[in-house]
Amino acid sequence: MAYDKDFVAEIVGKVVAEYNKTSGDGVPVGVSNRHIHLSKEDVETLFGKGYELTPFKDLSQPGQYACKELLTIVGPSLRPIEKVRVLGPVRSASQVEISRTDSYVLKVKAPVRESGDIAGSASITIIGPKGTVTLKEGCIIANRHIHMHTSDGARFGVKDGDYVTVHVNGERRTTFYDVQVRVSDKFQLEMHVDTDDANAAGIGNGAVVTLEK
């Protein structure tokens, strides 16, 4: 019988997350591949007037979801990266999140930022089936961060905006410093890293890391 690797990883991640709610200091990991957030205006430019994004599957954070729509991004190198997933729901401003490796391919000088902090960030072009959008700013490399429910924040003794140290055990033992904590009653406990960090530490979706108190 054939298994969908993404589906299996999603199930494992959910099981680990539920386990860690009551099992001490473990924090489940979610690996974030390159992706795009779009404003309503840019959705219509790229896909056509009145177009609505099509939900594909829910993500770990409540209300967030992957869309069926895939787009192409291009930087100064003119070497496109195709099939970049759009995430919903729509935002007030469009944003493209890439890895450092992607930035070398695109020749984009993307800064490391918290999601949503795009002022003065890199320019990038997004190509869709109906049009093209060039963002004057909006391309970033997302910082390492941990989403926590308010109850998790109390348990770990941290508040929104704090920075912590995280340890990864295993064959490629790694310590991540200056990991930002985001606390909200709308969040679910999960650390987000990009593909570069995940590969360097030898971890994937559903891995469990330890927060240094």
Q: What is the pLDDT of residues 61-109, one digit of tens each?
A: 999 999 999 999 999 999 999 999 999 999 999 999 999 999 999 999 9
Mean pLDDT, range 110-135, rounded to an integer: 97
Q: How far apart are CA 177 and CA 211, in angstroms?
A: 10
Q: Is residue 208 over pLDDT 50?
A: yes
pLDDT of residue 20: 41
Domain count, the chain: 2
Residue numbers of the domain that contains 95:
33-142
Instruction: State the average pLDDT for the chain.
Output: 91
pTM of the predicted model, to two decimals? 0.84
Q: Is residue 13 part of a domain?
A: no
Whether residues 125 and 58 share a domain: the answer is yes
pLDDT at 117 over 70: yes
Domain boundary among the residues 106, 123, 142 is at 142
pLDDT higher than threshold 90 for residue 10: no
How many degrees, rounded to 5, is the angle at CA 43 between CA 121 and CA 58? 90
Supply the pLDDT for residue 19. Answer: 45
- Residue (of 149, 119, 128) closest to 86 by Cα position: 128
Q: Are residues 136 and 56 in the same domain?
A: yes
d(CA 97, CA 84): 10
Instruction: Read off the pLDDT band of 23 (50, 70, 90).
Output: very low
pLDDT of residue 17: 46
- Is 83:70 a contact under the CB 8 Å cutoff? yes
3-state secondary structure of 133: strand
Residue at a domain's end among 101, 124, 142 = 142
